[in-house]
């Protein structure tokens, strides 16, 4: 299963557009403060990304934490959302736009509520067998043999998003000439 998942992630990586990655990296490098968010497991990916951004030396915050400061005009909000339409996440993204912030969306759904307001978007495609009608009930698709995913409940999106986020950190390290020693110096030391 790991080999099959790795194969799917490689195929997903091959479909990500270089121009989307370049635009995303540019947004990160040209803002003073980066806010990250997501719901559920996408939120865990977002938190891991925020931690790495901080370790690279950038100013990053996780939306919803008690120490997260007010967002300002031109700050960047990075949203991890497979569907791009989770209500609470979309509401916050719209608030960020109202403040004058910029929105970067990591998603598998270009035609979404958050996608319609995003300044930059990186599409991490769904598996080919999950592109079917999303309104169909999971159980019905399973019983009729239409659901053949080996990765339960969106796992492939979150896994691919995590690999993508770590690859972006590697690129940011290279561009900023930050080495691993600097990351270790910023790593938590009271845990």
Which residue bears the tokens 């300002």? 72
Catalytic residue among 27, 125, 130, 158: 158
Report how far residue 56's alpha carbon sits from residue 20's, in angstroms, rounded to the nearest whole number: 21
Burial class (CB in 10 A: 0-12, 13-18, 19+), 143: exposed
The 8-class DSSP code of residue 145 comes to: T
Residue 125 annotated in active site: no
Report how far residue 136's alpha carbon sits from residue 47's, in angstroms, rounded to the nearest whole number: 31
The 8-class DSSP code of residue 59 comes to: -
Can you list the alpha helix ranges (DSSP code H) found in the chain? 2-15, 18-29, 40-56, 87-99, 138-143, 155-176, 180-186
Can you list the alpha helix ranges (DSSP code H) found in 57-135? 87-99
Residue 79 DSSP SS3: strand
The residues carrying an active-site annotation are 158
């Amino acid at each position: 299963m790991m080999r099959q998942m790795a194969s799917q992630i490689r195929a997903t990586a091959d479909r990500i557009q270089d121009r989307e990655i370049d635009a995303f990296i540019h947004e990160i490098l040209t803002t003073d403060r980066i806010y990250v968010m997501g719901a559920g497991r996408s939120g865990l990916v977002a938190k891991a990304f925020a931690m790495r951004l901080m370790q690279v030396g950038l100013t990053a915050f996780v939306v919803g934490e008690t120490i997260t400061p007010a967002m300002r005009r031109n700050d960047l909000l990075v949203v991890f959302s497979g569907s791009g339409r989770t209500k609470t996440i979309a509401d916050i993204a719209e608030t960020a736009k109202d403040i004058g912030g910029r929105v970067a969306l990591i998603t598998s759904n270009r035609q979404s509520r958050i996608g319609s307001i995003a300044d930059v978007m990186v599409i991490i495609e769904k598996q080919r067998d999950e592109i079917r009608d999303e309104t169909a009930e999971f159980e019905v698709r399973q019983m009729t043999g239409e659901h053949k995913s080996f990765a339960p409940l969106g796992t492939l999106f979150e896994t691919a998003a995590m690999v993508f986020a770590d690859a972006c950190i590697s690129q940011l390290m290279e561009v900023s000439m930050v080495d691993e020693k600097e990351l270790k110096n910023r790593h938590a030391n009271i845990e």
